[in-house]
Amino acid sequence: MKIRLLKEGYKGDEQLYLAFKNGEVNDDSFFSEEIVETGEAPDFPFYMGKGSEEKRKADFLAAFQVIANHYVKLDRDIHFDERFWHSLLITKKRAYILENYPQALDNYREFCNIVIKVFDWENYIYKCILAVEYVEDSKEQAFSKEQYYELIIENLDIFNYLIKYSIFRNGEFLIKVLTVIHNLGLSEILKAKITDRPDLGKDERYGRRVIFELNKAYPVLMSPLLDVKELEVEFLKALGNYYDVTGDKKEEEVPPSKPSLLKRFANIYR
């Protein structure tokens, strides 16, 4: 498949949105002379900003599979080029967008948010490309690739924070973090809001603070270089700044589901 790339500066051109809305994106004024040739370029979910948790999970898994089978095999300078993706969506995926994300045509803001969103850690295609690269390229995995994809979805907030910090944007480190979270059964705790620390802000979560603490400790603590067991200890130390991992809370202060976890944490933490 041949993808003609949009001209530089297209993201500030509202005429592109109007032409896309009217099915008239065939004007040479929108395009450069650059062409990228790909193999098959099948449809896949690329916007998970709305919908139920079940639907979003299914969409992520479908996207991971299609990207792993087709797009991640392209040269890296292509599959990390936002102009390539935006050109593909605009020239080849209009019917898919109309069927699955009709709100993209409601106004220019929605079009920018869904179709030509900045290609960074907040962009769903970017998230999926990184996830697929990390899982498919990892050499040491304690679990199957399918399990790691599930763990990424279950711990999406942590994943977002890891890819936000450049020092943690590392496939092997992500795999180790997911392994630690699975081994210690931390998913639910890390996703939970911190309710007793108003000084941290309105929507702080335990997982975000763990990554914040690991980032703050770098480079004194080179957490990306730790093995899984060492990372478990540092993970719990960071979590311990905000959550009781020692098991010292009174029984009535700890939810029924937590005592066994706290006891296990304490053994590792010490």
Domain that includes residue 105, residue range: 1-137
Q: Are 133 and 145 in contact (CB under 8 A)?
A: no
Q: Does 163 lie in the same domain as 128? A: no
pLDDT value, residue 82? 97
Q: Does 145 lie in the same domain as 79? A: no
Q: Does 200 lie in the same domain as 177? A: yes
pLDDT value, residue 169? 86
Average pLDDT over residues 220-234: 90
pLDDT value, residue 152? 97
* Highest mean predicted confidence (pLDDT) among 5-14, 239-248, 255-264: 5-14
Reply yes or no on whether the pLDDT at 262 is more than 80.
no
Residue 245: CB atoms within 10 Å: 22
Q: What is the pLDDT of residues 40-65, one digit of tens each?
A: 999 999 999 999 999 999 999 999 99
Q: Which two tokens stand for residue 16?
A: 């592109």
Average pLDDT over residues 21-35: 92
- Indicate the residue among 112, 137, 162 that finishes a domain: 137
Reply yes or no on whether the pLDDT at 246 is more than 90.
no
pLDDT value, residue 265? 55
Reply yes or no on whether the pLDDT at 263 is more than 90.
no
- Indicate the residue among 96, 119, 137 that finishes a domain: 137
Q: What are phi and psi for residue 37, nearest 5 degrees? A: -100, 130
Q: Does 119 lie in the same domain as 14? A: yes
Q: Which two tokens stand for residue 11?
A: 């993201």
pLDDT value, residue 257? 42
HSE-up of residue 43 (Cα within 13 Å, Cβ side)? 15
Q: What is the pLDDT of residues 177-218, one digit of tens each?
A: 999 999 999 999 999 999 999 899 888 999 999 999 998 988
Closest listed residue to residue 130, CA positions, set 154, 164, 177, 155? 164
Q: Are 235 and 243 in contact (CB under 8 A)?
A: no
Q: Does 147 lie in the same domain as 258? A: yes
Q: Are 168 and 100 in contact (CB under 8 A)?
A: no
Q: Does 161 lie in the same domain as 133? A: no
Q: What is the pLDDT of residues 101-158, one digit of tens each?
A: 999 999 999 999 999 999 999 999 999 999 999 999 988 888 999 999 999 999 999 9
pTM summary value? 0.88
Q: Does 175 lie in the same domain as 54? A: no
pLDDT value, residue 192? 94
Q: Does 125 lie in the same domain as 11? A: yes
Amino acid at 15: Q
Q: Does 177 lie in the same domain as 73? A: no
Q: Which two tokens stand for residue 130?
A: 């990184």
Per the structure, the count of domains in the chain is 2
Q: Does 180 lie in the same domain as 124? A: no
Q: Does 157 lie in the same domain as 113? A: no
CB-based contacts of 6, cutoff 8 Å, min separation 6: 16, 30, 31, 32, 83, 86, 87, 90
- pLDDT more than 90, % of the chain: 76
Average pLDDT over residues 74-85: 96
- Is residue 168 very low, low, confident or very high in pLDDT (cuts 50, 70, 90)? confident
- Indicate the residue among 100, 117, 137 that finishes a domain: 137
Reply yes or no on whether the pLDDT at 255 is more than 70.
no
Q: Which two tokens stand for residue 232?
A: 């478990």
**E strand segments, the chain:** 2-6, 31-37
- Is residue 37 very low, low, confident or very high in pLDDT (cuts 50, 70, 90)? very high
Cis amide prior to 42 (ω within 30 degrees): no
- Is residue 247 very low, low, confident or very high in pLDDT (cuts 50, 70, 90)? low
Q: Does 242 lie in the same domain as 129? A: no
Q: How far apart are CA 30 and CA 13, in angstroms?
A: 9
